[in-house]
Amino acid sequence: MDMPASPDGDIAQLLAIMARLRDPDGGCPWDLEQDFSTIAPYTVEEAYEVADAIDRDDLPALKDELGDLLLQVVFHAQMAQEQGAFAFGDVVEAICDKMVRRHPHVFGPSTGSGQAASFADAEAQTVNWEAIKAAERKAAGEEDTSALAGVSRGLPEWQRAVKLQSRAARVGFDWPDTAPVIDKLHEEIDEVRVELAAAPSPERDARLEDEIGDLLFVAANLARHAKVDVGGALRRANLKFERRFRAMEAIAAAEGTTMSALSLAQQEALWGRVKQGEGM
């Protein structure tokens, strides 16, 4: 079946393509085998690809990655439609309703007319946003009234840590600045050292995991206080390590050897040469 041309980027063409891929009569075997749980990892991966394109300031790649992410939304909506649960149009309607409802300072009351509220700054607007979300959860019958309610367990754990910390901070459970966070970070490092020095055992391994978890949690808290995005910082650290390690491999090859043939001291010296070459 030929897909209709859509020079204006009409979403109908993408919906038609997805429906054809999922058609039991001549559709794609791989697409037909998928369900929500098998597609979910791809959805998460595509979101990270979008973030990577933004991090690299690569707008052509961003266009492609946003398309891949949109396909994930269409895929989930198609599967839901097949089950009679909802369709893509329902997804669009739901998010439009939500955006209007959560921006009363822009669209006014639920009628969408006038301006019902104003906020001094983005922080005040965020507080109102969270209040609206809490009201939505209550209206939906959720009984969890904790300040931590609604923090998804499906988030990457570093992101969930920051959200939990931010929610607790809204009710005053927070350090005033970075100094006590750094003190706590040193405390957690010392506790990790204690467990590393202990005799290996299943109990010690469990304690070590707990202490390293605490260390990572406090590191995320430090980034939050410093207004540094944890994911972005870690992405940059990964890219820096990859760049430097590949440079080390190139130097080793140019000198007629390999990384695995060098001692750790020689490798560290090579790392120093690469850092110096970067001017860092």
Buried b (16+ CB within 10 A) or exposed e, 161-177: bbbbbbbeeeeeebbee
What pLDDT shows up at residue 107? 81
Which residues make Cβ contacts (< 8 Å) with residue 267, sequence separation at least 6?
248, 259
Per-residue model confidence (pLDDT) at position 115: 47
As to burial, measured by CB atoms within 10 angstroms (0-12 exposed, 13-18 middle, 19+ buried), residue 256 is exposed
Nearest to 92 by CA among 3, 6, 14: 14
Which tens digits make up the pLDDT trace of 183-218?
Answer: 999 999 999 999 999 999 999 999 999 999 999 999
Task: Work out the number of other CB atoms within 10 angstroms of the CB of residue 178.
Answer: 15
Q: pLDDT (tens digit, 9 = 90+) per residue, 145-195?
A: 788 887 888 788 998 999 999 989 988 999 999 999 999 999 999 999 999
Quote the tokens at residue 260.
């695995």
Q: Comparing C-alpha atoms, which of 93, 95, 94, 119 is closest to residue 106?
A: 119
**pLDDT score at 121:** 62
- List the chain residues with pLDDT less than 50: 1, 3-7, 111-115
- 3-state helix, strand, coil split of the chain in percent (to 5) is 70, 0, 30
Cα Rg, the chain, nearest whole Å: 25
At residue 56, the pLDDT reads: 87
What pLDDT, on a 0 to 100 scale, did the predictor assign at position 172?
92
pLDDT at 186: 97
**C-alpha to C-alpha distance for 251 and 166, rounded to whole angstroms:** 45
CB atoms within 10 A of CB 225: 19
* Residue 280 DSSP one-character state: -
Closest alpha carbon to 220 in 272, 137, 155, 266: 155
53-77 in b/e form (b: 16+ CB < 10 A) is beeeeeeeebeebeeebebbbbbbb
